[in-house]
Amino acid sequence: MNKKVNAGDPLMLLLVFGMIVFGLVMIYSASSYTAGLQYGNAFYYVKRQIFTVIIGTVMMYMISRPDYHRILKYAWPLYGIALLMLAAVFLIGTASHGQKRWIYIGPVGFQPSEFTKFILIIFLAAMCSAAEPLMKKRKGIILMFLCVMPAAAMVMATNLSTGVIILGVSFIIIFTASRKWAPFFALTGMGIAMMGVFLKLAAYRLDRIEAWLNVETHPKGYQTRQALFAIGSGGLFGCGYGKSIQKLAYVPEAHNDMIFAIICEEWGLFGAIISILLFILLIWRCAVIAMAAPDLQGALFVTGVMAHIGLQMMINIAVVTNSIPNTGVPLPFISYGGTSLVFLMCEIGIVQNVARQGKGGIS
């Protein structure tokens, strides 16, 4: 079968690498003080992130080249590997912030939950497209959610926010494949009930809700409180690049989950709006590529990536602005974080793969 292959979507690549470069600039600003104190090198985190960008770029290129239909053939084995990795976290995982989320192989560590988000997009795109007639029925929708639940449950046991993203991305992919409304109301209720159970299983999660409701006084509201100080002091145009006060050991994880607060402090409301507009443009390019995809498989691939980026961006910004309880989710492409960035770039590789085979090119 001959297919027209085009150059992909250069505008999307420009947006992605523009955000990554901006992220490197902001990681240096947000981390230079603490990195200098802890490691004697103000560029410590920036150097590590640059290394991650190189790895991610190579993987993105490799994934963008072969026909994405070949990747679909390995959906079940890849999902099996993801489940085994998640199970391994409980046995040999390393704790982070009181929860086992990392696996280390020598000096190299990674989060299986980030790998799982990537693999679930592949898995659901393959399964939903293969069972397209069944997806028009309630039992097909339920079956797909049952396939996802083992991964979602294992992730939520140690990382509720990532589990919510997994459920959200799965919900959007399955809904796109089925386009039926009624079953999703019941499944939404089940998802909320499931979140309630996992909230009860860990007392610290309930503490975060208390801190969210009483951010001004609660001891565990310190990080959010300092982030809000940073946002408030930024005004319309910010205090200037590198001039943040809150990054000087006041905001924990300033270069990671809370980097949006430093953007607001140094670049003001103007910088915050530009950052959000970049994400909106990226999501728009995903939507254009999904609509031009040559088949349902490609459309579901891109829809899953679009859902992942959009949900993670909204959750991160909502946390920083205290719109929802504090939870650890990095800002895509901008926050410091190796595993997250590598697999996000792999997802962009899939989107470029679909774009290269899109109907009549991408406009």
pLDDT tens digits for 95-122? 666 667 778 776 777 788 899 999 999 9
- Give the model's confidence band at 318: pLDDT under 50 very low, under 70 low, under 90 confident, else very high: very high
CA-to-CA distance for 100 and 108, rounded, in angstroms? Answer: 16
Residue 95: φ, ψ to 5° = -75, 145
Cβ(336)–Cβ(253) below 8 Å: no
3-state SS, residue 281: helix
Beta-bridge partners for 278: none
What DSSP character marks residue 98? T
Question: Which runs of E-coded beta strand occur in 41-82?
Answer: none
Q: How confident is the model at residue 66 (pLDDT cuts 50, 70, 90)?
A: confident
- Residue 298's SS3 state is helix
pLDDT of residue 112: 87
Residue 220 has pLDDT above 80, yes or no: yes
User: 251, 138, 252, 149: which is closest to 191 by C-alpha?
Assistant: 149
> Residue 74, exposed/middle/buried by CB under 10 A (0-12, 13-18, 19+)?
middle
- Could you tell me the CA-to-CA distances from 347 to 3, 233, 266, 352 in Å, in that order? 22, 36, 30, 9
Instruction: Report the Cα–Cα distance between both ends of the chain, in Å, rounded.
Output: 24
pLDDT band for position 181 (50/70/90)? low
What are the residues facing 95 on neighbouring strands? 100
| Average of per-residue pLDDT across 336-356 | 92
- Provide the pLDDT for residue 259: 95
List residues bridging with 277 in a β-sheet. Answer: none
Is the confidence at residue 199, as pLDDT, over 70?
A: no
Confidence of residue 177 (pLDDT cuts 50, 70, 90): confident
pTM of the predicted model as reported, rounded to 2 decimal places:
0.91
Does 93 have pLDDT greater than 80? no
In whole angstroms, what is the distance from residue 10 CA to residue 5 CA? 14
With tokens 């309880």, the residue in question is 325
The whole-number average pLDDT for the span 199-206 is: 66
pLDDT attached to residue 109: 73
What's the pLDDT tens digit per position in 2-33?
455 566 889 999 999 999 999 999 999 999 99
Task: Tell me the three state secondary structure of residue 102.
Answer: strand
Start-end of H helices in the chain: 10-39, 44-64, 68-72, 75-92, 112-130, 138-158, 160-178, 182-201, 203-213, 222-234, 259-291, 296-320, 338-356
